[in-house]
């Protein structure tokens, strides 16, 4: 075997190892993120919260992306992607461990602190894993690699609410139903609420231990590190004369696109159980609806893996998904028809909401390669700006909850989705191609 083929074989081996380990990272990110969809109604009952207060679960979790992204960028510059990811798992473990004192004291604020700490860990992982998987191979197939990561992420999202329900809610099903229906009061109610919250202690203790173990594994793994600041000639030409990451319009506009996208995605997943509850579906039955949304997302990712870039380009996939998302959003707020699907008596709009998972699958995969292309030495700070945009997960559900509370109609809250997808259509058609702020 000559040196060239040996080098090629080593590169392929490094690529496979890198994708496999980053796939594990995306699985864990999905597991701890999408369990929020059931934490929201769980805390609403167990901590006696309003709808608006319950959505501070997502706010505390994802606002860490906004606050911590720039510090994360400087940290990753010093540590590199590999070591940075191991630190991210440490923060996740600390956040999970905070659920223990929060449950023992029945203090919602401590739960939120734990969620913010976990969000900080995810900000580190997102800041390292997303650019890593984008630039580890050819940029034209980046959406395909991101789709593979999406499969790992969304599969974890499908199973995490079900595991939480089985481990935490399963043993307290009758208690939960009695509290939800208002059948308990006084001391009996206090004991029931205490028992509900104590149910998270053992699972989150085990989770914290596992997260530490994964962080240690990545620290000592053979994950190849990469340096996006090594610029080729084409990248050098595109960055010549630029001294700020804000001088790349397609990146800045992409940050806004990602903000709207992740906001619309988390609304479709984290609000669907409460929306089902407004139709008379109890929490135990409604727990499967986030899995329907994530299942639709999983189908989209699998199609992306098969079709991109061989049969459809990243750009056209992004356009198609943005348009489909806009049409589904209009249907959610305008259609009010009773249906029975998969044994659930509900409104058709909730199935349109679950179907949003399909177009949302490839929007994320389309925005990253468009926004981060050709940035060279600006790649790490640009990645942090894109991670910062994930605070849309924190802000958009709050806007949804405010509209829903103000109109006393959860369905009306979904009007917030329409401008989000309208902007995504614009970015996918025109915005991604803007390379200068002026007409020059």
What tens digit of pLDDT does each residue of 107-152 get?
Answer: 999 999 999 999 999 989 988 887 778 777 776 667 678 778 878 8
Residue range 364-413, pLDDT digits in tens: 878 988 888 877 777 777 877 888 888 888 889 889 988 998 888 999 99
Residues 308 and 321: beta-carbon distance below 8 Å: no
Per-residue pLDDT at 2:
45
| pTM, full prediction | 0.73
What digits encode the pLDDT tens for the residues 30-60? 888 878 878 888 888 888 888 788 888 888 9
Q: Which domains does the chain have, with CATH numbers?
A: 10-220+246-433 (1.20.1250.20)
Phi/psi at 336 (nearest 5 deg)?
A: -135, 70
d(CA 412, CA 242): 45
Mean pLDDT computed over every residue of the chain: 84
Task: Return the pLDDT at 258.
Answer: 94
State residue 101's pLDDT score. 95
At 199 the pLDDT is: 86
pLDDT at 350: 93
Number of Cβ within a 10 Å radius of residue 217:
14
* ω into 36 cis (within 30 of 0): no
> What is the CB-side half-sphere exposure of residue 397 using CA atoms within 13 A?
31
Residue 341: phi and psi, rounded to 5, are -130, 130
Residue 240 binned pLDDT confidence (cut-offs 50, 70, 90) = low
The predicted model gives 261-284 an average pLDDT of 87
Band (pLDDT 50/70/90 cuts) for residue 241 is: low
192-201 tens-digit pLDDT: 888 888 888 9
pLDDT at 331 over 80: yes
Angle between helices 392-407 and 249-270 (to 10 degrees): 50
What are the tens digits of pLDDT across the range 247-270? 889 999 999 999 999 999 889 988
């Amino acid at each position: 075997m000559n040196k060239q083929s040996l080098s090629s074989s080593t590169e392929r081996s490094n690529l496979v190892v890198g994708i496999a380990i980053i796939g594990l990272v995306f699985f864990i990110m999905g597991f701890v993120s999408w369990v929020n969809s059931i934490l929201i109604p769980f805390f609403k009952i167990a901590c006696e919260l309003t709808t608006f207060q319950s959505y501070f679960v997502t706010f505390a979790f994802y606002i860490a992306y906004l606050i911590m992204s720039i510090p994360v960028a400087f940290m990753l510059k010093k540590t590199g992607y590999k070591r940075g990811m191991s630190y991210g798992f440490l923060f996740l473990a600390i956040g999970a461990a905070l659920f223990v004192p929060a449950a023992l004291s029945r203090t919602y604020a401590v739960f939120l602190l734990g969620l913010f700490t976990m969000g900080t860990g995810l900000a580190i992982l997102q800041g390292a894993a997303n650019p890593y998987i984008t630039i580890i191979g050819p940029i034209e197939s980046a959406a395909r690699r991101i789709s593979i990561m999406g499969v790992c992420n969304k599969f974890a999202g499908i199973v995490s609410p079900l595991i939480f329900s089985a481990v935490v809610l399963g043993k307290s099903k009758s208690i939960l139903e009695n509290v939800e229906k208002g059948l308990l009061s006084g001391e009996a109610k206090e004991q029931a609420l205490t028992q509900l919250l104590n149910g998270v202690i053992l699972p989150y203790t085990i989770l914290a231990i596992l997260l530490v173990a994964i962080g240690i594994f990545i620290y000592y793994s053979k994950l190849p590190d990469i340096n996006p600041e090594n610029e080729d000639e084409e990248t050098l030409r595109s960055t010549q004369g630029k001294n700020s990451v804000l001088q790349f319009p397609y990146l800045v506009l992409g940050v806004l696109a990602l903000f709207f996208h992740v906001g619309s995605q988390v609304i479709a997943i984290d609000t669907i159980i409460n929306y089902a509850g407004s139709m008379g579906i109890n929490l135990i039955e409604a727990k499967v609806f986030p899995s329907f949304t994530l299942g639709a997302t999983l189908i989209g990712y699998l199609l992306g893996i098969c079709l991109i870039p061989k049969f459809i380009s990243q750009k056209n996939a992004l356009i198609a998904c943005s348009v489909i998302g806009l049409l589904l959003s209009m249907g959610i707020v305008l259609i009010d028809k009773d249906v029975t699907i998969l044994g659930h008596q509900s409104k058709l709009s909730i199935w349109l909401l679950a179907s949003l998972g399909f177009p949302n699958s490839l929007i994320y995969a389309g925005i990253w390669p468009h926004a981060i292309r050709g940035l060279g030495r600006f790649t790490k700070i640009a990645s942090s700006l894109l991670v910062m945009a994930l605070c849309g997960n924190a802000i958009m559900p709050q806007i949804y909850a405010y509209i829903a509370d103000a109109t006393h109609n959860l369905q009306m809250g979904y009007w917030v989705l329409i401008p989000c997808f309208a902007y995504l259509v614009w970015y996918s058609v025109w915005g991604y191609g803007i390379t200068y702020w002026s007409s020059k």
